[in-house]
Amino acid sequence: MMKLSCAAFLLCALLLITSSVFYPAMAYPSSGRTCGDKCKTRCSKAGVLDRCIRYCGICCQQCKCVPSGTYGNKHECPCYRDMRNSKGKPKCP
The tens digit of pLDDT for each residue in 12-47 reads 665 555 554 444 444 544 445 789 999 999 999 999
Confidence (pLDDT) at 79: 96
The Cα–Cα gap between 77 and 68 comes to: 9
Sequence-ordered list of residues with C-beta below 8 angstroms from that of 43, at least 6 positions apart, any chain:
49, 52, 53, 56, 70, 93
Nearest CA among 21, 83, 14 for reference residue 55:
83
User: pTM for this one?
Assistant: 0.64
1 or 48: which carries more pLDDT confidence? 48
Confidence (pLDDT) at 28: 46
The rounded percent of the chain whose pLDDT value lies above 90 is 63
Q: What residue type is assigned to position 69 of the chain?
A: G
